[in-house]
């Protein structure tokens, strides 16, 4: 809920939420609410979720891992992140990640400028509840073609394969 002075306060039960990538994305502040400056989301992703090597030509990203294990490739280096770890990715740096272990990872994702979470909203579906999607989620064969179609508008460029299992 926004205030007329630009302050945004989000209680857990009022966060706009999207299911994409078999994951839950809860918006904390959107680009529209921050005059385009930032986008911040709380992300919950199950073990095994992985991205291809990609880059964002429009924004820098940062992640604060609250809980879980994440292998994160940034440029030529791969980092093993867990509870409390932070990573900042400058604009256009190729990166990929894979959620490790047996429990979901939860992290706060930041983008500057904001706007990237609009991509997840376009390819995903509104979350029926604030939990990981199950059978009520969108099947990959429906979602994956949307990434190829919508991603370029958001400056998303796939540049290589992901991190192996």
Per-residue pLDDT, 4: 64
pLDDT tens for each residue of 93-111:
999 999 999 999 999 999 9
pLDDT tens for each residue of 46-89:
999 999 999 999 999 999 999 999 999 999 999 999 999 999 99
Q: Which residues contact 158 (CB under 8 A, 6 or more apart)?
A: 52, 53, 54, 151
Per-residue pLDDT, 2: 47
Per-residue pLDDT, 5: 84
> Chain-wide mean pLDDT for the chain?
95
pLDDT tens for each residue of 5-26:
889 999 999 999 999 999 999 9
DSSP string of 105-150? EEEEEEEESS-THHHHHHHSEE-SSSS---TTS--HHHHHHHHHHH
């Amino acid at each position: 809920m926004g205030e007329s002075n630009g302050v945004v306060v989000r209680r857990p039960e009022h966060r706009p939420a999207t299911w994409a990538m078999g994951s839950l994305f809860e918006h904390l502040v959107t680009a529209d609410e921050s005059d385009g400056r930032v986008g911040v989301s709380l992300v919950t992703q199950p073990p095994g979720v992985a991205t291809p090597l990609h880059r964002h030509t429009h924004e820098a990203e940062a992640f604060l891992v609250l809980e879980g294990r994440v292998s994160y490739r940034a440029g030529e280096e791969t980092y093993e992140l867990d509870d409390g770890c932070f990573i900042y990715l400058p604009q256009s740096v190729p990166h990929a990640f894979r959620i490790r272990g047996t429990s979901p990872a939860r992290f706060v994702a930041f983008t500057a400028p904001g706007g990237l979470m609009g991509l997840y909203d376009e390819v995903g579906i509104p979350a029926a509840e604030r939990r990981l999607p199950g059978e009520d989620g969108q099947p990959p064969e429906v979602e994956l073609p949307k990434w190829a179609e919508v991603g370029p508008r958001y400056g998303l460029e796939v540049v290589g394969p992901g991190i192996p299992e």
